Chains A and B, each alone.
Chain A
Amino acid sequence: MNTISRPSFRSLNQEGIVFAIAVVLFVVAAIGLPGFIDPNNLVAIVRSVSVLGILALGMAVVVIGRGIDLSAVAIMAMSVAWYLQLLNTGTPDGLAFAYVLAGVLAIGLLNGFLVAYADVPAIFVTLATGSFVFGYVRSQLITQDAVPVPQGHWVELLGGRRFLDIPIEVFVFAGLAFLFFLFLRYTKWGRYIYFAGDNPVAARNIGIPVRPMLVLRYVLSALVALIAGLLTAASLHSINTRVVNSTLLYDIVLVAVIGGIGLSGGRGGVRNVLVGAALIGILLNAMTIIDIPLLYQNLIKAAILLGAIIVDGIINPRDEQTAQQGDI
């Protein structure tokens, strides 16, 4: 507990709490679990949350702008499944990729358009487009849940790439995190996202192009999902569309929210995603080393989440001044 010097409870927000929990877990695991502190294991931890973290970055940008993207996992799995299916049936690589990229952009634009211009709540729009993407691709474009990567294809080779013995996903995650950090912190449009998320009406009144920016965020999220899907396929040499039915989507929201990005928008950043991902990564790795059955793992994960939220609720109570309109 030396890392946080005498926390004054007033300034400790959820990010701080989660960071403290992560550090405590890390120290306990490092002392108590043999092999946990091994550099290879630490790399494995980062790698295990890389794809999750990348998806959470996309989600974070959308959530900060007071939205949510429930179609991320469907876009991730189905775009890559379609891409691989096209390759397996003999479509030239460039053309196949162009199709898929166009499809992903189209869904991102559709999400953004419906939220920004048709004023449909994001939660319903993306829930619907996610189901649509899954249903359409699964029934019309691919024949199997699992689509293999053709032998010798660049996606397969990508999965074997290492720098300094560290898998490529880790670098992609780090690179994207840095880019998103620069975007959110130092670009005008990045700053505008916070204004729009905090108070959309005021943002619009001072002349910020709120609607085009909304569209941009959903397109960004869709593209990030495509990257996450390609990395998944690279590592496993196939993509299984069953992942759409898994808890991955909730885990993405979890990583973003537990790190302290409020669902009401306007707060948080890349650091929150990293803190959330670190906690989940350390937790899952430690529980796997101890060999805790999956049922208990979910219970423990949920309990820690709930604990963090409750502590946050006690330390930072909501009142009329801090509460925002449009809180989910």
Chain B
Amino acid sequence: MKFIRTFMAAATALAVTAFVAPTFAADDPGPAAYAQALKGKRVMLVPLAMGFDLAQGWAHFLKKEVEGWGGVFETRDPNWVVDAGAQAITDAISSDTRPDVLIIHAPDLNSYSKLMKKAQAAGTYVILVDNPANFPADAFVGSDWDRLGQLEAEAAIKGCGENSSKKLGLVQGDQANSSSLYQYAGIMKVLDKHPDFKVVAKPDSNWDATTSRNVTTTMLQQNPDICAIIDFWDGDATGASAAIRDAKLDGKVFLVTTGGGEKAADCDKLQDGTYGAVVMTDLARQSGDMNAIIKFLLQSGQPAGTSHTYIYTLEKATTKADLKPDSCWDLKALQAEAAAK
């Protein structure tokens, strides 16, 4: 209905303009070309899993937009299992309803490379989101993880201050995921410029909160004077924060992490002091970037695999001091909105 009303309003406005200024063309060729290129096109999102904030946020914004222009939006849920994701992509490529655009959240640098190549050969545009991979996708939309690591390190150094022990601890993700590897590289770049700050331990959490808690407990046990810890994901940083709480070092250890900017996961925890700083992804804008590139690719007429664009999302380290009501998006509100429909 809304679309029709907008369309009517636009048509009226056009008619009026045409009447007032008859020198302009009576018809804007844009909408027709747009509709023709996009209508009925299929977009599929294959994230690492559908059960966490980033994927649910992307799906929400993408679905709204894709269905808005008359396309079909689908998701697949590999539930953190790489094989299941590969199966989902394989099935999608060979099915009768092959997606025109495949948005892939890669689990590591290499796993899906061959499949993505196959998809492009079949004529499907491939967009990588969030995690880079060793593959020239049509577009990459997501964080510049190196830059993100630099922001984290800068926030940690600031959180420590000049008169601190200048000892940092890292809780890495793993040694395979590009987001973890590049984050680490970024952190180290900043620390090279601040040689007085030292990383005293850098265990892996394997993205698991319990492991994060255990390694952080050990880290704080060995170095009780650590002034800041950088945990590579808010999904497991709850473990690091539990270890800090248990060691009665709340307020003394500045915990920095990164996440999708969801309210309960990030802003609430900045507010209550669990996290000192969070480098948050502006999820709505990131989804908007994806939507724009989808629309561009579908209209471009270029064969899949032609362009290799990088669209990095603007990242910012947010602390309690610069927390605003709109700093985060609210997953509960999105779910309520979806349920109300």
Which A residues form the contact surface with B (CB < 8 A)?
A: 34-35, 38, 40-41, 44, 47-48, 51, 138, 143-146, 148, 159-160, 167, 232, 235-238, 240-243, 245-246, 284-285, 288-289, 291, 293-295
The residue on B at minimum CB distance from A139 is: B77
Known: A145-B52, A146-B235, A236-B213. A38 touches B221 (CB 8 A): yes
A243 touches B246 (CB 8 A): no
Residues on B with C-beta less than 8 A from A51 are: 210
Which B residues form the contact surface with A (CB < 8 A)?
A: 49, 51-53, 56, 79-81, 174-175, 201-204, 206-210, 213-215, 217-219, 221-222, 235, 238-239, 242, 245-246, 264-265, 331, 335
Residues on B with C-beta less than 8 A from A291 are: 201-203
B218 touches A285 (CB 8 A): yes
Assembled-state Cα–Cα distance A291/B200 (Å) = 9
B264 touches A232 (CB 8 A): no
Assembled-state Cα–Cα distance A119/B159 (Å) = 61
Q: Out of B209, B218, B242, which one reaches A159, CB within 8 Å?
A: B242
Residues on B with C-beta less than 8 A from A160 are: 245
A240 touches B235 (CB 8 A): yes
Q: A243-B208, A291-B203 are in contact. List 9 more A-B contacts (CB 8 A).
A: A48-B214, A144-B52, A144-B56, A146-B238, A159-B242, A232-B210, A238-B238, A294-B175, A295-B175
A148 touches B264 (CB 8 A): yes
Residues on A with C-beta less than 8 A from B79 are: 138, 245
A289 touches B218 (CB 8 A): yes
The residue on B at minimum CB distance from A234 is: B242
Known: A237-B242, A241-B51, A289-B222. A294 touches B204 (CB 8 A): yes
Residues on B with C-beta less than 8 A from A38 are: 221
Residues on B with C-beta less than 8 A from A146 are: 52, 235, 238, 265
Known: A237-B238, A238-B238. A294 touches B206 (CB 8 A): yes
Residues on A with C-beta less than 8 A from B52 are: 144-146
Q: How far, in Å, is A167 (CB) from chain B's closest CB?
A: 7
Q: How far, in Å, is B88 (CB) from chain A's closest CB?
A: 16
Residues on B with C-beta less than 8 A from A235 are: 210, 213, 242, 246
For the complex, would chain B's binding face be called helix, strand, loop or mixed by DSSP majority?
helix
A48 touches B238 (CB 8 A): no
Known: A145-B51, A288-B203. A44 touches B218 (CB 8 A): yes
B80 touches A242 (CB 8 A): yes
A145 touches B49 (CB 8 A): yes
B202 touches A41 (CB 8 A): no
Assembled-state Cα–Cα distance A44/B243 (Å) = 10
Assembled-state Cα–Cα distance A291/B222 (Å) = 11
Assembled-state Cα–Cα distance A237/B331 (Å) = 19
Assembled-state Cα–Cα distance A44/B210 (Å) = 13
The residue on A at minimum CB distance from B223 is: A35
A41 touches B218 (CB 8 A): yes
A236 touches B221 (CB 8 A): no
Residues on B with C-beta less than 8 A from A34 are: 222
Assembled-state Cα–Cα distance A144/B335 (Å) = 11
B210 touches A243 (CB 8 A): yes
Q: How far, in Å, is B328 (CB) from chain A's closest CB?
A: 15
B80 touches A245 (CB 8 A): yes
The residue on B at minimum CB distance from A241 is: B51
Q: Give me 9 A-to-B residue pairs in the complex whose CB atoms sit less than 8 angstroms apart, sorted by A's number.
A: A34-B222, A48-B214, A48-B217, A144-B51, A144-B52, A145-B51, A167-B246, A288-B219, A291-B203
A35 touches B222 (CB 8 A): yes
Residues on A with C-beta less than 8 A from B174 are: 294
Q: How far, in Å, is A73 (CB) from chain B's closest CB?
A: 12
A138 touches B51 (CB 8 A): yes
Assembled-state Cα–Cα distance A160/B245 (Å) = 9
B209 touches A240 (CB 8 A): yes
Q: Out of A40, A237, A288, which one reaches B214, CB within 8 Å?
A: A288
Residues on B with C-beta less than 8 A from A143 are: 335
A284 touches B206 (CB 8 A): no
Assembled-state Cα–Cα distance A138/B203 (Å) = 30
Assembled-state Cα–Cα distance A48/B239 (Å) = 12
Residues on A with C-beta less than 8 A from B208 are: 240, 242-243, 246
Assembled-state Cα–Cα distance A324/B2 (Å) = 73
Q: How far, in Å, is A285 (CB) from chain B's closest CB?
A: 6
Assembled-state Cα–Cα distance A241/B80 (Å) = 11
A284 touches B214 (CB 8 A): yes
A236 touches B210 (CB 8 A): yes
Residues on B with C-beta less than 8 A from A40 are: 221
Known: A44-B217, A48-B214, A144-B52. A236 touches B239 (CB 8 A): yes
